[in-house]
Structure 1
């Protein structure tokens, strides 16, 4: 009987300790807040994240998402891996350093640029199968008069991807059993509507040869593409 009484007293003491000591401590820890990056605007898949797209807020540790990003510098300048919405918290899997897959680029299209595929006429014409997503290239054209030139409208063009005859994009090509790789038969490029019209004409009436201009960081690549855009805009204003 005494043992039962002692056990009962111990249980009561433990209950009191849990209620008035342990629980408040647990609640205090869980109520601590951590700075977290949150989106202030909708950001579409493949779009570069700007400083105005995010903010830093404090939220309870108990509501903290897995792999949450706590510093804006870890997000700004990177790309969304999916459609993100105002109020979403930034996590490591929602951003990427590069957005060069075909799906990334195509998901980021907003109407000012279009994706277009052109045929690789020969092994050499497609840079011997060595083109990579994000490359900046010039398109050298040889017409029926056998005169080769790089049209000013096609001096700097971004490669979205290359695709094999089986429809496999550059990112997804795997090695065959004999150690070889299926070669691409088309190149998909990011161009303006004007450039697309020019390419469609050359696709039908000329042979095209791809010339690699630049492969490297996005910022440097953008300088070439910006120069091309400026030429197209100036030419358009002048009625060219």
Structure 2
């Protein structure tokens, strides 16, 4: 009789427990699963290091169950930031996947202000780029063999002191950041015993006038880089400031651009006639003599 009574009590407890699960816990679980929340989702692929723009993400509503705590829920929190890893269409963005600063390998491209430009030149032989020893911040001179078909090897006055802002391998990875992924290390090991990538291009910070000359040298396939200075930024800036003065002297701003509109009829004739013929020819003759 006691055994039957215990079975009845146990059965009653099971019934009560099942009712509790069906009418209490299950609705709460369903409510949590069906509860909607807003997250930021990727709608266009974003490569590592690229800036996240408005057209690459959108805000959507999804079920809030089992979402990571650090998922980004507002688009304002990601627009203008930089991807630390590749983001694929459909991914939701975690705070650990974005950064306020661009990746080290291309941070220098985001520091351009419009006064100067970044231009890359090819390193076609190991010796042309200082045997792979160039790094960002170096000051170099650009040597031009048979400059403009004149038969002499010169350092153009426009390219006496130029700042290096990037050294890039043929894979597209910068070689002077000190950051390498495991995949890159395996690829590098095939070409180099110590796993270091050899530079294929050097990116220089130049003025528009310097960029045109570098484009000519790149087209001819004849240039050589020599290291002038490596060290503190303050001292390096002295070289680039001196180069800027040379550029301003070789390519003066026409007086008509500096004068007021009322003065243009009186000043537009004389200065332009004096400056125009001397700009392209004077530097070449001076350097050819050197």
Query: 2:17 — aligned with what?
Result: 14
Query: 2:29 — aligned with what?
Result: 26
Runs of at least 5 residues in structure 2 that lack an aligned partner in the other structure: 110-117, 146-151, 186-193, 205-210, 234-279, 281-290
Counterparts in 2 of 1:22 and 1:138: CA distance versus 1, 3 Å: same
**Per chain length, whose mean CA-contact separation is higher, i.e. which structure has more relative contact order (CA < 8 Å, sep 6+)?**
1
- 1:98 to 2:102 alignment: yes
Count, aligned residues: 190
- Select the structure that is richer in helix: 2
Mapping 1:1-240, distance limit 5 Å: 1-62=4-65, 64=67, 67-80=70-83, 81-82=85-86, 84-85=88-89, 87-92=90-95, 94-96=97-99, 97-101=101-105, 117-118=122-123, 121=127, 129=133, 131-132=135-136, 140-144=141-145, 145=152, 147-149=154-156, 151=158, 158-161=165-168, 169-170=175-176, 171-172=179-180, 186=199, 188-189=201-202, 198-199=217-218, 201=220, 204-209=222-227
Contact map agreement 1:37 1:69 (CA 8 A) in 2: yes
| Shift of residue 8, structure 1, vs aligned partner | 0.1
| Shift of residue 10, structure 1, vs aligned partner | 0.6
SS at match of 1:148: coil
Counterparts in 2 of 1:116 and 1:142: CA distance versus 1, 3 Å: closer
Within 1, Cα distance between the matches of 2:126 and 2:71? 44
Deviations 1:148-182 (A, max 9, x none): 34647x9676415479xxx99332499xxxxxx99
Instruction: Give me the TM-score of the superposition, normalised by structure 2.
Output: 0.47
Q: Which moves more between the two structures, 17-26 or 191-200? A: 191-200
How large is the RMSD of aligned CA atoms in angstroms?
4.7
- Select the structure that is richer in strand: 1
Instruction: Give me the TM-score of the superposition, normalised by structure 1.
Output: 0.55
